[in-house]
Amino acid sequence: MERSALRFIKKASGFAAVLIITLIILDTLSMVSPINNISAAFTGSRQFFMTGAVEITPCIDKVSQQDGTTALIIGDSICGQLFNGLQDINPDITIAGSNGAITIAGQYMLAMKYIENHPDATDIYLFYLPESFWRGYNATLGYPYAVMPFAQKDCLKYLDDDTLDILGSVYGKPFITPKGADLLGRSGVNLKLYLNTLNNLGNEYQMSYPFEFADRYLIRLNDECLQRGIEFHLYPCPVCETSRELNDSFKDSFEESKTRTLNPEYYDMVVYYPAEQSADGEHFAGEYANQEHYNDIIREAYAQTDLLDSLNLTEGSSE
């Protein structure tokens, strides 16, 4: 009887060892191209593999290029919609509109990476929806957008200890390191399991007021710019009429924030456009999703700024 039990234990242990080794091999293969794409499709995790870093990493790479440009345009996805298509006719400007999901801290990291690689920079423009200031750190978009791509590129070093403590608490300290982020970022399977675990745990950080990160990082960015002779510009993105009430709900908080000192006219500059021009209340859609229309919006929204003195909206000439 004892021998039978011993044989069973040995077989079970052997099976467990083989299973563990097999899982380790499969997991390792799930991080190797092109197998990572195959495993992502097979396990239903392609959507995890194709979000966040795929969109944000090119922005980090772009601001890191030592290409001699002297101005930077960054902002949320509305900024990207308006300006990214103008890059080819503006060789002196780096245009890297990204996504509000990276948070203001993410915009700060992009700006600092740009400053680090562009010693002759003269201007940094941030275009941001009022509601985008409220973006914090959650499981759904927070990690793949605001943390993983920046950790992989070793950009979290620009953040202060308080913010790093928040990230460590929400996402786990091992996963805000370059190696930890890369472990997840190269495997849709790993990222899916990780994000599902975060969702189940309910991990997130919600700011105490909408301009918490802005008051910390935009003020800091402005100080960095002043020290280097760079002019920092904060402008609102155009807002769909259906989002007027939502965006206006942040106005009182803005008036009491330190961020207001960067542009007291920020809310007065907001241009509202008709609801039929957007499908989701934020982005231009349908016949209005084209550069010609974006240029009309840019002319209207920023006519009273110096942006149009240096930005080409058409081939060969600034406005």
Its pTM stands at 0.86
pLDDT at 319: 58
pLDDT at 141: 86
pLDDT at 60: 98
- Distance between CA 143 and CA 312 in Å, rounded? 35
Write the pLDDT tens digit of every residue in 70-98.
Answer: 999 999 999 999 999 999 999 999 999 99
The answer to whether residue 222 scores a pLDDT higher than 80 is yes
Question: Is there a cis peptide before residue 238, judged by omega within 30 degrees of 0?
Answer: no
pLDDT at 186: 80
The answer to whether residue 14 scores a pLDDT higher than 60 is no
Write the pLDDT tens digit of every residue in 20-34.
Answer: 333 333 344 344 454
Write the pLDDT tens digit of every residue in 91-120.
Answer: 999 999 999 999 999 999 999 999 999 999
- Distance between CA 5 and CA 172 in Å, rounded? 41
Residue listed under structure tokens 């409220």: 134
Q: For 60-71, what is the mean pLDDT?
A: 98
Q: Are the C-beta atoms of 98 and 56 separated by less than 8 Å?
A: yes
H helices of the chain, where?
A: 2-29, 35-42, 46-49, 53-64, 77-83, 103-117, 148-152, 161-171, 178-185, 188-201, 212-228, 244-248, 251-255, 291-301, 307-310
Give residue 307's pLDDT band: very low, low, confident or very high (50, 70, 90).
very high
Domains and CATH numbers, the chain: 48-313 (3.40.50)
- Distance between CA 138 and CA 142 in Å, rounded? 5
pLDDT at 140: 79
For the chain, what percent of residues have pLDDT higher than 90? 72
| Mean pLDDT of all residues belonging to the chain | 86
Q: What angle do CA 177, 183, 184 make, to 5 degrees?
A: 95
Q: For 264-284, what is the mean pLDDT?
A: 96
Q: Cα separations (Å) of 246 from 132, 138, 240?
A: 11, 20, 10
Give residue 179's pLDDT band: very low, low, confident or very high (50, 70, 90).
very high
